[in-house]
Amino acid sequence: MLEARAAAARIRERNDTSRMHVGTAMPHLLVRPRRERTAQEIAEFEERRERRARHEAAVAAFLDSGVPPIHRAARLDNLDGVREPDREAYALAVEKLRAKLDGRHDAETGRKQPMIVVLTGRRGPGKSYMAAAVAIDNCRRARTSRFVDLETLLLELRATFDGDGKKLAVERRYVLPDLLVIDQAEMSKRTDFADRELQRLLWRRYEQLGATVITTNEKPEVVRARLGPSIVDRMHECGGGFIECPWASLRRRPAAPAGAGGE
């Protein structure tokens, strides 16, 4: 017993000697007291962390948005390919679209309101491009966006007809984003099913305070019939409505860069 205690004492003595050696020969290995950060340093750290979080949220929103590759560089202020006589009308449509979507968010209270906007016009003035641009801008603000053409949306819903509950999961994918773009509505043939599902989706998004932008070549009266009186009433109630794109097609401009046009 005494031998065990003596051995333990010798081990402790060696450890103490080793620590003294480290402290004498390598003082940088000693644990130094941690300096308290100033209030300014803490504020700067928190700001950097918030910026990083916003950036990561923006990247995640963009990658999940479904914006097609041809429009991923879309910007609302891009006038490439727009003829000089049409630039005023184009700028006015962009201003209206921005005002409706930006105005739905209250910066002071953080509250938002639903919005339904329909971009109408002939083929090629850049309706899809403009809609993609607002979706990308929404992602930059770390808000969720989704971009889909109407026919693809309806095909996804039809694929859930076996009644296994997947329809609600598909609906949630398009109900929950802050902004939903439904592109090329005219490409989907009007049927009772198509009209009913579109109206149901818009109604549910209205309840969730979401913004929806629809692009179509159809005339406003045809769109109103497709949406139904209840949705049209909600569209005007929340300050949405139709934005005409009457200028010439951008696709016919040989100088227009790839991706400058759209439906």
Note the pLDDT tens digit of each residue in 117-146. 999 999 999 999 999 999 999 999 889 999
How far apart (Å, rounded) are the C-alpha atoms in residues 66 and 198?
19
**pLDDT over 90 for what percent of the chain?**
56
Q: What is the CATH number of the domain that holds 128?
A: 3.40.50.300
Amino acid at 143: R
DSSP helix, strand, coil percent of the chain (3-state; round to 5): 55, 10, 35
Q: If pLDDT is split at 50, 70 and 90, which confidence band does 5 have?
A: low
Q: What is the pLDDT of residues 151-186, one digit of tens each?
A: 999 999 999 887 666 888 899 999 999 999 999 999
Query: Is the residue at 204 inside a domain?
Result: yes
**105 lies in which domain range?**
64-245
Chain center to CA of 99: 17
Instruction: Tell me what pLDDT residue 124 has.
Output: 92
DSSP secondary structure code for residue 105 in this structure: B
Instruction: Tell me what pLDDT residue 157 has.
Output: 92
More confident residue, 106 or 240: 240
Query: Is the residue at 252 inside a domain?
Result: no
Query: Is the residue at 210 inside a domain?
Result: yes
Query: Is the residue at 14 inside a domain?
Result: no
pTM over 0.85: no
Q: Give mean pLDDT, residues 192-207.
A: 96
Q: If pLDDT is split at 50, 70 and 90, which confidence band does 6 have?
A: low
- Flag whether pLDDT at 216 surpasses 70: yes
**What total of structural domains would you count in the chain?**
1
Instruction: Tell me what pLDDT residue 87 has.
Output: 94
Query: Is the residue at 22 inside a domain?
Result: no
Give the number of other CB atoms < 10 A from CB of residue 177. 25
DSSP secondary structure code for residue 79 in this structure: -
Query: Is the residue at 76 inside a domain?
Result: yes
Query: Is the residue at 85 inside a domain?
Result: yes
- Flag whether pLDDT at 15 surpasses 70: no
Query: Is the residue at 103 inside a domain?
Result: yes
Strand order in the sheet with 145-149: 145-149, 179-183, 211-216, 115-121, 241-245
- Flag whether pLDDT at 7 surpasses 80: no
DSSP secondary structure code for residue 113 in this structure: -
Instruction: Tell me what pLDDT residue 47 has.
Output: 82
Q: If pLDDT is split at 50, 70 and 90, which confidence band does 10 have?
A: low
